[in-house]
Amino acid sequence: MKIFKTGSLVILLIFAASSVCLAQKGATARAAAAKAAQEKAQRAADEEAVRKMPDPGADTAFVVATRANIREEPDRTSRILLEVERGEALSLIEREPTGTWFRVIHVETAIEGWIDQSVIVNKLTANRYTAPDFEEEVTESDSNPTVKITNQERATDLNLRMNGVLYVIKANTTRSFTLAPGPYEYYGWSPGVRATFGKSTLSRGTIYSWSFFIRRR
């Protein structure tokens, strides 16, 4: 009888422990499901709010997660360049993602990187290309086109990326570079300034000029 009672007690204890474990798993699963439903509802509300916003004048990504990371490459293991918070607006560089990642610029710091589409909602502008046109000077030579950029700001560097190549024009300087003729898409940005996008076809024997300055109200 003693052995039987001891064995019964062990069986009862094991059963009780299993019941507690199953109850805990059930509670965890219900909490996870509730959280997922809440996040889905919040995402839908965020998308609706952004959809109703007026045209921002530039393609913009709004952070809808409490916190999110801008990374160096479109990969969750890539180096974190900056942590952003809910409500922050980012310049959206490309309208189509690479996998699940969008290329963006943090306006305040001018940091360029990648952010996952799960933590942002995008608002596209009706007029993507807002950069001023290049001024053109046709020469008699048949040389490759020259691009001359003047940064009139005294304390702010200008970043200019043309067909993927980055050129940095220091404050209060002019920089010239020679490119192959053909079509180019480009965008320029500085700390505290939203990116502005343009496109142009560069021809031989032509000098293209662009002056950068910040319009302050």
Which DSSP string corresponds to the chain?
-HHHHHHHHHHHHHHHHHHHHHHHHHHHHHHHHHHHHHHHHHHHHHHHHHHTSPP-SS-EEEE-SSEEEEESSSSTTSPEEEEEETT-EEEE--SS-BTTEEEEEETTTTEEEEEEGGGEEEE--S--B-SPPPEEEE-S--PPPEEEEEE--SS--EEEEETTEEEEE-TTEEEEEE--SEEEEEEEEETTEEEEEEEEEE-TTEEEEEEE-----
Output the pLDDT for position 1. Answer: 43
pLDDT in tens, 25-55: 777 878 777 777 777 787 888 888 888 989 9
Q: What is the mean predicted confidence (pLDDT) over 59-69? A: 95
Q: What is the mean predicted confidence (pLDDT) over 74-96? A: 95
Output the pLDDT for position 36. Answer: 74
pLDDT in tens, 93-147: 999 999 999 999 999 999 999 999 999 999 999 999 989 889 999 998 999 999 9
